[in-house]
Structure 1
Amino acid sequence: MSYYCDRCVRFFVSERALEQHQDDSGTHNICDDCDKDFTTYEKLKQHWIGSHRHHFCQYCDEHFDNEDELEEHEEAEHYYCAPCGRSFNSALGLHEHNRQSHHYCTDCRRLFQNENNLQHHLRSTLHAGAHVPCPGKKCKKMFVSGAALILHLESGTCPSRITREQVNRVVAKYDKGNVITNPARMLAYREGGSGQTIATWATGRAWNGLRYECFLCHREYRTLEALNQHLASPAHEKKMYRCPRGYSGCGAEFKTLSALCQHVESEQCSIRRFNTKVQDYLGDLTSNMKRLGI
């Protein structure tokens, strides 16, 4: 009995002789795992690279046990872009690819999942620095943006004891053209009004037998203090601020000034032209805080 090699047109006296021929001949390039024979080694490599069954580094001609091991190797030894599955010849090549193709911080050389995450990173103290001072008395804190400053004032933690209600009153006095406020929902803060808002708090009667319950939304809290913190928050306030359509805004409404500022600074809608206007508003608000009654 003889054994025949179709590709080489040769007979062999035994199966072992045929196998030896296939192992030694450059015309046979066999993938033992898949039992496939390729005419050239390059074609065999392309098979290893393209097959999900194999975990092969084409640069080192090395196989790995699984995909995780292969990625670890490529990241450590090669300039590898995991999202694209591509390797580059140099760090500069990878850097330029990331800069042109991904949400990428060129200074930190970090990738981000989306543009919003990248912009949030770029506005952080790592890049922007804290340059907006708090105008409150006895407060020396600095903030990275107007939104961060307003959030600080609204929280009631400023040594000046400024509150969210006081911030709203300043805006009501300053925003006479109702650029960022809805006048129908700002009546309590308008000039000529009482200048005060109605405080809502809970007593021990809010206990429902298991927890302290908010009578407005029926959320439950373990302590009376937690319930009153909830009632003091903007949770049940009307949305008195808005992203103005007159400045190419989206018309979205917000319960707090800080939420509106965060929306504008994130550039989530087309209000890019209004972004400068808002910064001017914030600058005037903070620099004239004392003059406006806070």
Structure 2
Amino acid sequence: MGLNPPPSPQKRALGRGLSALIPQAASIPVPVSGELKDKGITRLPIESVRRDTAQPRKSFDDEKLKELAESIRAQGVIQPVLVRKDGKGGYVLIAGERRWRAAQLAGLKEIPALVRDVSEAEAFQIALVENLQRADLNPLEEADGYRRLVEEFKLTQEQVAQRVGKDRTTVANALRLLALPDPVKAMVRDGSLSPGHARALLGVPRIPEMVDLARRISEKKLSVREAERLVKDQKSPGAAVGSKRPTAQQKALVEELQRLLGTKVRLVEKGGGKGTLEIEFYSYDDLDRLLKLWRR
């Protein structure tokens, strides 16, 4: 039996909310003022709209915001933001924070908006998915968004992948980045280390060694394959800490298992032809995937 929980009524409702709400916010151009009400769009005082503190996106490129602000000064806000009422006479952003920030920079007093009657949980998932569908999140913001969909909404990796229009492997690989130590995460965040380079480092058992290798990879501008070879040279694949050096046959076996299972495998020899085989998983969903592979 798999470990995935059955879908709850709330989860099904959230799925319908996403398909119904996101396309409208993303695709409706702002009509001339006389047509606003017919399109369900209203103009809100910009100071009545506030950002959601739970917004998954934490950083914005200042230069790109300035460029968007210049465009808004010239043409106005082309697409409305998506908001919900906060119960206090104001509004909370669901989607469109970049446009809202840039509109403020441009000096606008009002902003076109679609007001939707959704719960805080629905709004949160919509904001997560809207951000994850964009191409300008940094890799760790993206990974954390996937994590929150898995943990807070009890979605499987497959369900997350369907929500954001990506394959399950992309989601699983992104989630692996969350296991990195903070110094390596900082390098991924600032772009000095790519996600591919960072994943190559996950096989290094000790954090100081991992950080040192990350800096060397960045300074030497190594390719991902070169980084993988560097890690392989640093630590023989499948060797346990304190164990004797694995034979060529053992190394080949471990590498084949890692290829077949798509995860880190570790062989610990205990002598006399006995030992243990350790197989890493990164979430219960990942463990469920491994169980399905074994049952084939």
Name the TM-score, length of structure 2 as normaliser. 0.20
Between Structure 1 and Structure 2, which shows a larger proportion of helix residues?
2
Larger CA Rg, structure 1 vs 2: 1
Larger RCO, structure (CA 8 Å, separation 6 or more): 2
Name the TM-score, length of structure 1 as normaliser. 0.20
